[in-house]
Amino acid sequence: MSLGIVFLSEVFGTAMLTLLGCGVVANTALKGTKGNNTGFLFVNFGWGLAVFAGVFVAAKSGAHLNPAVTLGIVASGKSEFVPGIPVDAASIFTYLGAELLGAFIGAVICWLAYKQHFDVEPDPANKLGTFSTGPAIRSYGWNLVTEIIGTFVLVFVILCFGGSPNELGPLAVAMLVVGIGASLGGPTGYAINPARDLGPRIAHAVLPIKGKGSSDWSYAWVPIAGPIIGGLLAGFAAHLPIVFTAVAK
């Protein structure tokens, strides 16, 4: 294992996650698709299956696919991300950089797959919603709280069941993501992953999307800060002796 393998593993895994995740949103949101107006639960399951695929692709690196997971593992006090990769500044930034790059690449490929539908979609909000999240009711403080809670659930459960997504099992992580979306996704669209939101938002900003409108940068800090805070809190909580004692029993 090397940092080069970690980087490529996380880039490909996160790209697969974002391609399939943004793709399911595009399928339900954009005009004229076969899945138009399928609904939010359809999106939840699509994102769950996107995670399922991404975890398999990035299994060698521990399949973080998410800076909140990476930072949660750091906060939990673990000494290695995967065997041979110590938790240090170099490995942390390798994971974070790969996750962001992968998310950007996946979003670009999604745009290519749905290019004609982006061209005919009249609502700029639907186009942006394919790439990144936005709140149902814009209230930055409460939106932040929602993202913190959703990400805490994600990272805490992952850490309690094995320390990294590939040890917990791809299907279990996928179902966890579906559950979080179905129960906690309503207020903000549940980013629960800074790279998943920021990488595609950057793609939306730079791609030549017809009639795309604003990339809503005024909101962009919420799905970055909320998941980071939630992931760190989950890591600290999972590190508490009482939690590990309960899991062991």
SS3 category, 37: coil
Q: How far apart are CA 209 and CA 30, in angstroms?
A: 13
Local confidence band at 244 (pLDDT 50, 70, 90 cut-offs) = low
Q: Which domains does the chain have, with CATH numbers?
A: 3-248 (1.20.1080.10)
How does the average pLDDT of the chain come out, rounded? 93
Q: Which residues contact 140 (CB under 8 A, 6 or more apart)?
A: 219, 222
Q: Letter for the amino acid at 10?
A: E
Mean pLDDT, rounded, for 238-244: 68
pLDDT exceeds 60 at position 17: yes
Tell me, what's the pLDDT at 164?
A: 47
pLDDT exceeds 90 at position 43: yes
Q: Which residues contact 173 (CB under 8 A, 6 or more apart)?
A: 51, 52, 55, 158, 165
Q: Which residues contact 115 (CB under 8 A, 6 or more apart)?
A: none
Tell me, what's the pLDDT at 167?
A: 53
pLDDT exceeds 60 at position 249: no
HSE value, Cβ hemisphere, 13 Å, CA-based, for 135: 19
Lowest mean pLDDT among 31-40, 118-127, 157-166: 157-166
Tell me, what's the pLDDT at 165?
A: 54
Mean pLDDT, rounded, for 214-231: 98
Can you give the pTM of this predicted structure? 0.93
pLDDT exceeds 50 at position 248: no
